[in-house]
Structure 1
Amino acid sequence: MAEVVLSGAIRSNLLSIQNTARLLDDTQLRLSTGLKVNSAVDDPTAFFQARSLNTRAGDLNRLVDSLQQSINTIQTADEGITSLQKLVESAKALANRALETPIVASSSEGPRQVVTDPSVAATAFNTAIASTDVLTVQVGGGSVRSVTVGSKTVGELVSAINGLTGVSAEITNERSLKIEGDSGRALVISSSTGSVAQDLGLAGSFTNGTNRDKFESDYNELRLQIDQLAGDANYQGVNLLRGDDLTINFNESQTSQITIRGVDFTVDGDLRLPEITARSWENEVNLRNTVRDLDAASRTLRTQASTFGSNLGVVEIRQGFTDQLINTLEGGAADLTLADTNEEGANLLALQTRQQLGSVALSIASQSEQSVLSLF
C-alpha cells in the first residue's frame, strides 16, 4: 500500500502535536508519582546516585533496629544490677542483725542451795551417785561427750565438764550446778552409765538458748536468689551478667563498633560471696568477714553499673547520629529525584493549551488542501 503523502505544513503541525502529547504524558507521570526521575532513562546520574543513597539509608535503618535491641540488652543488665544491689543490701542487713543478736547458751541448772562445799566427793555429795557413773553431754546434735565421775569432787567434776569443747559448767551464786551449751543450740544431758545426770537434777533436753542458725540459712537462701536473678537477666540470648559479651556495630560495613564485656555476677564469680557453713556465724570474726564481703560486692555492682551506663550513653548517641544520617541520606535522594509539583502543574496547563492550539493549527493547514474540492 502506498504511503500517504502529507503536505509540509500538515506534517509540521502533526509532529508538534505528537511532541506535545509526549511531554504531556511525561508531566502527568511526574505529577502522579511525585518524581521527576522515575528511571535511569530520565537522568542516569541522578537516578543511580539516589538509588545509592536510598540503599545506604535502608541498611542504616536495619542497623538502627539492631542498635535498639542492643540498648534493650544493656538496660536489662542495668536493671539486673539494680535488683542484685537490693539483694546484697538485704543480705548485709541480715548479717548485721545476726551481729546484733548475741548467742545465749542453752542451759540446765540443778537444785539451788545444795552445793555447800565443792571439795566434797561427788559420791558423797549425793549417795545415789556411784564412782562408775558416766555423765554425757550433747550440744546441737553433735557428738556425745562424756565424763566419768570416778573419785572426783564436785568441783573437779565441774572442771572436767568445762574441759569438754563447747560446754561450760559452774557452781552458781545460788549454790547450784549449771551446765551450758555455749552455741545456744539444744543441750542434751544424760547418763550412759548409772543415773548421775538425774541425781544431779541436770538430765533432759534444753532449748532455752539463742543461736544464729536461722540467719545462716536465710543468708544462704539470698545467695541462691542472687544467682537466679543474675541468670534471668537475659535478653534475646545475651546475658551480660553471666559472662556474655555484646558487640554492637555502628555502621553498615561493621568497621565501627563497640564490644561490651560481660561480667559473672554470681556469688561464686565476681561477687565473691562464699556460702556460710553450719555454725560459721558462731564466730563473730566470720560474721564480720561476711559483712566485709558484702560491702565489696556492693562496690563491684556500683562500679559495673557505672560502666554499663557509660556504654549505654555511647550507644544512644550513635543511635541518634544514625537516625540523623538516615534523614540526610533520604533527603539527598529526594533532592535528586523529587518533582516540583507547582512547576509540573504549570507545565501541564501550558501543554494542554499548546495541544489545543496545535489542533487548531493543523485544521488551518488542512484547509488549503480542502479548497481543491470546490473544483468538483
Structure 2
Amino acid sequence: MDKVTLSAGVRQNLLTLQSTAEMMSGVQNKLATGLKVNSALDNPNSFFTASGLNSRANDLSTLLDDMGQSLQTIKTADKGISTITDLVESAKAKANQALQTQSQFERAKYAKQYNDLLEQIEDVAKDSSYKGKNLLAGDGNDLTTIFNEDATSKQTITAVDYTDTTLSTGLNLTDLAEAKGGASSFQLEGGSSSITLLDGSGDALGSGSLLSDYTGLEVGDVIELRTAASGGGSVVTSLTVGATTTVADLVTALDGVAGVKAELDEKTGELSITSNDDVYLYNTDAGAATAAPADLTSVTSANFTASTQLLTGSASFAVGDVLTLEDGNGYELGSFEIEEDSTVEDLIDFIDDFNGVSASFNTGTGKVTIESDTDLTLASDNKNDFNASAFTADTVGVSVQAVTDSGFSSDTKINKVLDRLNTALSNLRSQASEFGTNLSTVEIRQDYTKNMINTLQEGAGKLTLADTNEEGANLLALQTRQQLASTSLSFASQADQTVLSLF
C-alpha cells in the first residue's frame, strides 16, 4: 500500500499535537496521583531516595505502635504501685491503731485486718498486667521498648515482684500471727461448819478470850486442822494452846490457810469455818493417857451449782472482794464486786460479757471453764488464795494462756512492723519514681518518633509530590497549546486544499 504523503506543515503540526497530548497525559497523571515521581522512570534518584525515606518512616510507625503498648504497660504498673502504696498506708494505719490500745483483743482484730490488706496487695500486683506483661510480677516480665529501626536504641525496665509480700527483694512484709486462744478452768466447791466457843459458865468467848477457857481445852493441847477424819491425813496447820493463847490466835491460824476462812461471831461465840476442801478440826489432849484426837468439827466440801451463792461454802470469796479480768498486757476488761447474794451464774455472766472471752459452768463437776482469744487473768484484789485448792495459795488467779499471741500483742512487735512498713513505703515510692521516669522517657521518645516520621514523610514528599497548582497551570497551557496546534493543523490542511481550486 502506498504511503500517504503529508506536507511539511501538516506533519509538523501533527507532531506538535502528539507531543502536547503526551505531555497532557503526564500532567493529568501527576494531578491524579498527586506525585510528580510515580516510578523510577520518572526520576530514579528521587524515586529511590523517597522510597528509602518512606520505608524508614514505615518502620518507625511500627515501632511507634510498640511504644504506645509499652506506655500502657508502664501506666498499668504505675497504677498498681499507686494502689499498693495506698494499701500499705492503710496497713500502717492499722499498726498505729493497734499501738494506741493495750487491749489484746482489739490488737488481734487489727492484726487480722492487717493480714487481709497484705492479701489485697498481692492480688493487686497479680492484676496489674497488660497484654500478658506485668511489671509487678517479677521474673519473666521485664519490658524492653525499642526506639529505632535497628534496635540499637532501646530501654529495658526490670520487673519487681509484689505478688508475694514476704519477698525480701520486694516489700518484705510478712503475715502476722493471728491470735489462737486457750482455755483454763477452776473449781467452785466448798462447805462450812461451825463450833460454838463457850466457857464453863456457858458464856460466849470473844476474840480476846483465852482459848483455854473453852470447855474441853487446856494449856498444852494441840489443835490441828487435818485433811482426814480420825486423825488421819496430813496436818494443814496446828496451834498449841498456851497460857496466853486467845481465840483470835485460833481464828488467825485457821484463816491463814489457803482455801480456808474462819470468822468469829463475838456475840454468840460461834466460830464458822469455811473450806474449799474437806477439813477436820481436832484437839489432841495432852493430859490424856493416850493422845486420842477429839473431833471438834469438820467441813465437807461439795460442788456448786449455777444458783449457789459464792459466799456459801467457798473460802475464795468475801463480801467486797473485787474480781478483775485482765489480758496479757495488763489491760483491764472489767471488774466484778462480790455481794452477799452474788451467784455462780452472776460470775459466769460477768466473764462471758467481753469480746473474745467466753465462760461456761459444769454443774456436774463444779468447774468454771474460761476460753479466751488472748492471754487472760481473773484475779481477786484482796485474796491471795483465790481459787486455792489442796490448801495451796494461788497468788496469780486463774490464767488463760493463748496458744498463739497475735503479731500485734506487744508494743515491741508493733514497732517492728511499723519499721518494715516505712521501709516498704520508701521502696514503693522509689519504684514509682523509677517507673515515672521510664514512662516519661517512652513518652518523649514517642513524640520524637512521631516528629521523625513526619520529617521523613515530608522529605519523601518534597522529592515525589507534585505541585498541583503548577501542574494545573501546565495542563491549562497544554490545553491551549493543543487548541492552537489543532487550529494550525487546520490552516495547514486548508493550504493544501487550495490546489484543488486550480482544477
TM-score by length of 2: 0.52
Distance 1:320 1:252 in 2: 16
Residue in 2 aligned with 1:214?
Answer: 109
Are 1:79 and 2:64 counterparts? no
How many angstroms does 1:296 deviate by?
Answer: 0.8
Are 1:276 and 2:176 counterparts? yes
Residue in 2 aligned with 1:253?
Answer: 150
Is the CA contact (8 Å cut-off) linking 2:136 and 2:161 kept in structure 1? yes
- Cα displacement string for residues 195-233 of structure 1 (whole angstroms, at most 9, x for unaligned residues): xxxxxxxxxxxxxxx452211211111111010011111
Query: The residue matched to 1:247 in structure 2 has which SS?
Result: strand
Distance 2:50 2:470 in 1: 21
Distance 1:19 1:211 in 2: 101
- Cα displacement string for residues 79-109 of structure 1 (whole angstroms, at most 9, x for unaligned residues): 1111111100111110111111113xxxxxx
Are 1:225 and 2:120 counterparts? yes
How many angstroms does 1:238 deviate by?
Answer: 0.8
Distance 2:59 2:156 in 1: 21
Matched to 2:165, the amino acid is: V
**Where in structure 2 are the equivalents of 1:168-247 lying within 5 Å?**
210-243=105-138, 244-247=141-144
| Alignment counterpart, residue 487 of structure 2, candidates 351, 360, 370 | 360
Are 1:286 and 2:186 counterparts? no
Is the CA contact (8 Å cut-off) linking 2:95 and 2:408 kept in structure 1? no
Is the CA contact (8 Å cut-off) linking 2:57 and 2:457 kept in structure 1? yes
Distance 2:467 2:408 in 1: 82
Distance 1:366 1:283 in 2: 120
Structure 1 moving runs of 4+ over 4 Å: none
Distance 1:344 1:20 in 2: 14
How many angstroms does 1:3 deviate by?
Answer: 2.2
Are 1:311 and 2:438 counterparts? yes
Residue in 2 aligned with 1:372?
Answer: 499
Residue in 1 aligned with 2:53?
Answer: 53
Distance 1:211 1:359 in 2: 107
Matched to 2:171, the amino acid is: L
Distance 1:351 1:299 in 2: 77
Residue in 2 aligned with 1:199?
Answer: none
Distance 1:369 1:97 in 2: 117
Distance 2:99 2:495 in 1: 122
Structure with greater proportional strand content? 2
Query: The residue matched to 2:408 in structure 1 has which SS?
Result: helix
Query: The residue matched to 1:248 in structure 2 has which SS?
Result: strand
Residue in 1 aligned with 2:95?
Answer: 95
Deviates more, 1:89-98 or 1:344-353: 344-353
Number of residue pairs aligned between Structure 1 and Structure 2: 271
- Cα displacement string for residues 50-99 of structure 1 (whole angstroms, at most 9, x for unaligned residues): 11111111111121111111111111111111111110011111011111
Distance 2:125 2:87 in 1: 11
Is the CA contact (8 Å cut-off) linking 2:98 and 2:106 kept in structure 1? no
Q: Any unmatched runs of 5+ in structure 1?
A: 104-183, 185-209
Structure with greater proportional helix content? 1
The RMSD of aligned alpha carbons is: 1.4
- Cα displacement string for residues 297-316 of structure 1 (whole angstroms, at most 9, x for unaligned residues): 10110110111111111111
Distance 2:52 2:62 in 1: 16
Residue in 2 aligned with 1:18?
Answer: 18
Residue in 2 aligned with 1:206?
Answer: none
Are 1:267 and 2:165 counterparts? yes
Percent of aligned pairs with the same residue? Answer: 52
- Cα displacement string for residues 276-334 of structure 1 (whole angstroms, at most 9, x for unaligned residues): 11313223222211111111110110110111111111111111111110110011011
Where relative contact order (Cα < 8 A, 6+ residues apart) is larger, the structure is 1
TM-score by length of 1: 0.70
Matched to 1:264, the amino acid is: D
Distance 1:367 1:239 in 2: 87
Distance 1:282 1:83 in 2: 28
Distance 1:374 1:89 in 2: 114
Distance 2:59 2:106 in 1: 65
Deviates more, 1:266-275 or 1:211-220: 211-220
Distance 1:234 1:47 in 2: 45
- Cα displacement string for residues 118-142 of structure 1 (whole angstroms, at most 9, x for unaligned residues): xxxxxxxxxxxxxxxxxxxxxxxxx
Residue in 2 aligned with 1:64?
Answer: 64
Is the CA contact (8 Å cut-off) linking 2:36 and 2:464 kept in structure 1? yes
